[in-house]
Amino acid sequence: MGKQEKIVSMFNDIAGTYDVANRVLSMGIDKSWRNKACNLAYKFYDKDKIEKIVDVACGTGDMIEFWKKIAKNNGIELKNIVGVDPSVGMMDVARVKLPEVEFIEAGAAQMPLDSDSADIISISYGIRNVVQRQEAFDEFARVLKKDGLVVISEFTKNEKNSLLDYITDFYMNKILPTLGGLISRNKEAYTYLPNSIDEFLTTENLCKELKQAGLEPIHTQAFSMNISTLIIARKL
């Protein structure tokens, strides 16, 4: 089993408890991060009618709910939203919550979607789980319309400079695996999470990779003591 298959199988295994674990472990803060990502993206895109949003690594459909709700709040007509994920287990949970949404089983690097068809592509806390990351960014560029946006929310690697950085690090590496393991009965999955952040890129390198794919970063912002980073890039 390759690295990508192992990650997908792990997410299939924890799908049933994923939403509860997420809310407990992030103490609900991820809701405000997702809110800000959607609001800012709609502001930058500046259209009151949007044909199509594609949410990649959509998991249990959390981000799709935010896109829909915030479009409504801002008086934006969102015609179509599609969820893409290689984990059938996660999407089974999403289908129950969002029966009206189309979900497609696929990885980020090979999506069965038309070129120049999406206004916005989002990936929230999923890009670090994509093994072929540069290929995924090339694929995002292919599927996006010209001037379309990529919206990435991710836990990025930061230098530890302050006491708060060390407290955050302790939480991610010691408390999170234990709590997540108790809720999901799969400690391995929640040990993988902080390790995958430590092995992950900095915001600067992520921006370089986006540029290589013809996606120009127009906004980067760190939230909550640099735990979460938002990057919005525009297809040139």
**Which residue numbers belong to the known binding site for S-adenosyl-L-methionine?**
60, 85, 124
Binding residue positions: 60, 85, 124
Residue 22: phi and psi, rounded to 5, are: -60, -50
